[in-house]
Each structure stands twice: as C-alpha cells, then as structure tokens.
Structure 1
Amino acid sequence: MSSVTCFPAEKALITLTPQIIRNLAASLIPSNDHFFWWPIYRFFQQNFYPLSFLFIFLLRYIRVVTSLYGTYRYRPTPIPLSPTYHTTDVTVIIPTTDLIF
C-alpha cells in the first residue's frame, strides 16, 4: 500500500499563487474560534431546522423582491411610427378543443 500524497496539480497551484494572495486568504479564514462561541453560531450548529428555514425564507423573499423590481422596471416596446407589417400580414390562430357530442 502506498501512502496518500497530494496531486502534483495541487502543489503547482500553491506554488503559482503569489504570496500576497495566500496571505489574504489566510487572513480571511478565522484563526481562532471566538466567533463560533457566540450563541447564534452554537444555536445553528446544534439544530439544523432553523438554518434550513432561514435558507428557504431568504430564497422565497429574494425571489419576491426580484419579481417586484422586474414588474416595476418593465416597459412595453413602443409601436413604431412606420411598422414593417400590417394587419393583413398577421394570422391569429385560436386554439380550441373539439368537443363532439
């Protein structure tokens, strides 16, 4: 059995990233756990359902706000002064169901 090592691509990616980007990424990752001892984090870690409710709540109301914004911003295309087609060029097809008694 051989020991598990990193793929060469992972090592190459680490060596290709500049030191500044690595330092920035390291500063964004919390080095201590003082944030995770706050009551809200402990509450979400202990119970899955409030987090799933929050996720569904955000998805629903972000969709509502987005659709309201789209409804507010909608403007129909104005009819041009010299249209390229006339009423004789248009055929209206009315779909119906054939009910034979």
Structure 2
Amino acid sequence: LVTLKDRTEGILKGKAEIRPFFEAGLRKLQNDLGRWYRTGTFFSNGRQLTWEYPRDTPQGDQVDLVEVMDIANGLIAHHRVYWGWVGFKALVAALNKPVP
C-alpha cells in the first residue's frame, strides 16, 4: 500500500513520521469494514503488548488485524501490524484509491 509515496522503506520513527501514516491510512480505509472494534482482550508480558481487531464483531465484519508492540523503558520500541484476510483485501482495494 503506497500511503506515503516519499518513503523508501517501511520503518517510521517518531510521532512526526508515524502520525501522517495513520492519518492517510485511516482516510484510505474508510469503508463499511473500518470499525476498529476490539474485545478488550490483550496479552502483555511487560516487554511486548499484543491485541486483535477481530473480523467478526457485534456490528458485523470489519478489517481484521493484530497489533504487536515491543516496549522498552515505557516507550514503544517497535510496532508491527499483521493483516488478516479481510484486512488484506481492504488494503488491496485501497491500492487504486487516491489519497484525499
């Protein structure tokens, strides 16, 4: 997904780089699947935090993904998003959509 066309790698550092990515991504994925419902269940061992946005929600299907954050000294050291099938199809559909 080419959300930030000026980027040459998939690593963003700091709020100044991360904020435009999320803003652009949320604009592109605005559709019936963009509800961002979570169950409230998460896993943490003090060094890593993981939670899921499930496909099946009380309001119907949504983008499905899992987020994983590595925590160091109380800050996010690394953040990864793993897309499920419905989320992947939403990303592919967004490929041909211009960023507003």
Q: TM-score, normalised by structure 2?
A: 0.18
Higher RCO structure, 1 or 2 (CA under 8 Å, sep 6+): 2
Structure of larger gyration radius = 1
Q: TM-score, normalised by structure 1?
A: 0.18
Determine which structure has the larger strand proportion and give its number. Answer: 2
